[in-house]
Amino acid sequence: MFDVIRRYLEHSGYCVEFVKNFTDVDDKIIKRANEQGVSCDQITGKFIQAYHDDMGRLGVRPASIEPKATEHMAEIVQLTETLIAKGLAYQVNGDVYFEVPKYSDYGRLSKRRLDDRQAGARVDVDERKRDPMDFALWKSAKPGEPAWPSPWGQGRPGWHIECSAMSMKHLGETFDIHGGGMDLIFPHHENEIAQSCGATGKEFARYWIHNGFVQINKEKMSKSLGNFFTIREIFEKSEWPEEVTGEILRYFLLSIHYHGPLDFSDQALKEAKQALDGFYDLFNRLSEAGQGSTDTNGDLQLAIGIAKGTFNRGMDDDFNTPVALAAFQQLRGEINTLIRKGISTEVRKEAREEFRSLGKVFGLFQLDRWQFNLNVGREAGFSSDLEVQKMVDERTAAKKAKDFKRADAIRQALTAQGIIIEDRPDGTSRWKR
């Protein structure tokens, strides 16, 4: 979703500096590295590469800058020192904590009241803290853990301070949009606000955007419930009847507003594939030569203008991708109707370019060729594309010779293989799987 937000802002004329950071040192990474007897760098390097591979298959563009926490220790230490100097943080035996009650606006993002004293699932309760809500900015070194020098001794940063330091390093003390999952609102983003605003006296981020969760049977996909699978597993699922492409998955993920929950199912992926089949079927039609009157060409221009207006209004309204997709669907239906009436070759090309231009915002509709059915028939002895075309040509010749019995037999044989034939007014036929 953040890839689409970035694309739409660029489409709207903004110059976007997109920072996407990697937390490459934390408790879980250290534990995994120690279990496998390797360095943290080896663990994080492996998974950062896997992440880039998966994002590449989804068509997600790399960020402008992709910083790592371990590359910003100087900024992290400096920010921590500033908070201590301002009386917002304190040191205990080499550990440094942010003193939450000292920041009066704490809770304004999550709407949690400070007097609730809810430490949250990710905040450790430590008797050395002045308040249960206080959180670690710096952790003193422990045996078997990576460590860096600091004024408080060898240690490593807390999770929250990493993100503030990297954000301010690359985007400044105040920037426009901060994103993340809804599960990060508290305590992570709340703590980022407290330490960043506390250190600078300025607003940290002007807008906060939080995406909802993927669900399985109305439950959040999670490791604890055992109902999760990875992007890579979706691409490689053997029970899926057709290959899942990045475009199919993108269409599915954008079919629900980013803030709401998204229910994953094989049926939902099939529906996304069917929708894309419909669009690429139209694009095939638009690639063909055509003739049309001034009236139908004008109707097409009007339909395109209405669709672009709906698309922009939807995206301007909190990046409402379902509304924008509906605009594409509406335009597809209207163009199919106009094609039957007749539109010129030049206007057909223009219509295809409009889909390509707006579709680029979503990472959709960029392919010149679409596989309508990728797997069916590969091992079942079904006809190849060349064989199908030969049968379609034979059927056309039979129709011209008024051998309708033979023409019907060929159609039935192709239908049995999942081939759809569409007869055109000029007597020729087009087909698809």
Q: What is the DSSP string of 8-61?
A: HHHHTT-----B--B---SHHHHHHHHHHTS-HHHHHHHHHHHHHHHHHHTTPP
Measured CA to CA, the distance from residue 288 to residue 340 in angstroms comes to 13
- The residue range of the domain holding 20 is 2-211
Residues 282 and 236 both lie in one domain: yes
The single-letter code of the amino acid at 305 is: G
Cβ pair 97, 130 in contact under 8 A: yes
Q: Residue 221 domain-assigned?
A: no
CA atoms within 13 A on the CB side of 407: 16
Residue 173 has pLDDT above 80, yes or no: yes
For 207, the enclosing helix (H) or strand (E) is strand 205-211
The stretch 389-398 carries a mean pLDDT of: 86
CATH of the domain at 244: 1.10.730.10
pLDDT of residue 240: 62
The stretch 84-110 carries a mean pLDDT of: 97
Total number of domains in the chain: 3
Residues 207 and 344 both lie in one domain: no
Q: Please indicate whether residue 268 or residue 100 has the higher confidence score (pLDDT).
A: 100
Percent with pLDDT over 90 in the chain: 64
- Whole-model pTM: value is 0.84
Residues 113 and 171 both lie in one domain: yes
Residues 368 and 396 both lie in one domain: no
Residue ending a domain, choose from 176, 211, 246 = 211
Residue range 230-253, pLDDT digits in tens = 888 888 875 665 678 999 999 999
Q: Residue 217 domain-assigned?
A: no
**Lookup result for tokens 């040192």:** 25
Residue 374 has pLDDT above 80, yes or no: no
Q: Residue 222 domain-assigned?
A: no
Residue 120 has pLDDT above 80, yes or no: no
Categorize the per-residue pLDDT at 373 as very low, low, confident or very high, splitting at 50, 70 and 90: low
Categorize the per-residue pLDDT at 119 as very low, low, confident or very high, splitting at 50, 70 and 90: very low
Residue range 265-300, pLDDT digits in tens = 888 888 999 999 999 999 998 988 877 777 788 888
pLDDT of residue 116: 61
pLDDT of residue 51: 95
Residues 143 and 104 both lie in one domain: yes
Residues 203 and 241 both lie in one domain: no
pLDDT of residue 290: 78
Q: Please indicate whether residue 163 or residue 395 has the higher confidence score (pLDDT).
A: 163
Residue 406 has pLDDT above 90, yes or no: no
pLDDT of residue 230: 85
Q: Residue 32 domain-assigned?
A: yes
Residue range 129-162, pLDDT digits in tens = 999 999 999 999 999 899 999 999 999 999 999 9
**Lookup result for tokens 């500096």:** 17
pLDDT of residue 241: 54
Specify the length of the chain in residues: 433
pLDDT of residue 124: 55
Residue 401 has pLDDT above 60, yes or no: yes
Q: Residue 256 domain-assigned?
A: yes
Cis, bond preceding 187 (omega within 30 deg of 0): yes
Q: Residue 216 domain-assigned?
A: no
The b/e string for 272-284 (b: 16+ C-beta within 10 A; e otherwise) is bbebbbebbbbbe
